[in-house]
Amino acid sequence: MVVLVTGGNGQLGQSIQYIAPKYAQIDFIFADSDTLDITNEKECFSFFEKHKPHYCINTAAYTAVDKAESEPEKAHNINVLGAKNLAQACLKHNSILLHISTDFVFDGTKNSPYQETDTPNPLGVYGKTKLDGEKAIQETFSNYYIIRTSWVYSQFANNFMKTMLRLAQERDSLSIVSDQVGTPTHALDLAECLVKIIQNHNNQLAHTNYGLYHFSNEGYCSWFDFAKKIFEANNVTIAIQPIPSSAYPTPAKRPLYSVLDKTKIKKTFNLDIPNWEQSLKPL
């Protein structure tokens, strides 16, 4: 079984590389932007022609939320055009697409966990391009799993956990936003989930489980709560104080509440998802 992973050098891509040795029956091919430019349709088609993947996990994305406000074209090319190109290549080569999306497709005005049936309303360029990427896939073919996730972190690449630990070495105190509520997702848990979806798909004769899913760890917290637990787990002592989003203005507006409902993905794939605090390990 050949599984292509785009965005191989990113946080989720590296997390899949980390767990890959456990799955000897899967031949993983990891591609980064140097070996596969997903914004180039011709390149996507020739890459698929050469490697003939049965599955494609698209972890490649433009994720610089604030920068996207001043680089909308670049964000669109990667998040929309790239997604569409991969979907078309999958369609041509009869491959299955697993595409990673985001909680940022929602505006955060709800006060109960977001379900797959809730109407998206992104607040910024990043969220809008990710939503448009979802639509581009859905308009191309039906052999896809779109997995929205949130607050992804790990020991790899750049993320909130690593930023907090770096800042703690540089400063005596930190002010952390406390009125944005969501769920941290350990990238290794998400990586395991993606492999489980592939295994489930491979073992079934009738594939009726295509569609849109939400995945994060269980539970919820604010960025302030998350930072506090990161420092506790890593035995870091630093003074931190909670601040409102209004005290930390950013180019892109964030959803104040973006907890995702995981009922569908848990039932469909028989997943046991750990709580975010359980998954939080020292770096």
Return the closest-CA partner of residue 89 out of 102, 99, 74: 99
Please report the DSSP string for 92-157 in residue order: HHTPEEEEEEEGGGS-S--SSPBPTTSPP--SSHHHHHHHHHHHHHHHH-S-EEEEEE-SEE-SSS
- What is residue 172's three-state secondary structure? coil
Q: Are 81 and 43 in contact (CB under 8 A)?
A: no
Whether 55 is catalytic is: no
Phi, psi (deg, nearest 5) at residue 155 = -80, -5
Supply 271's token pair. Answer: 């997943």
Active-site choice (126, 144, 153, 220): 126
3-state helix, strand, coil in the chain (%, to 5): 40, 20, 40
CA angle 131, 135, 137 (to 5 degrees): 115
In contact, 183 and 221? CB cutoff 8 Å: yes
Which residues have a catalytic role annotated? Answer: 126
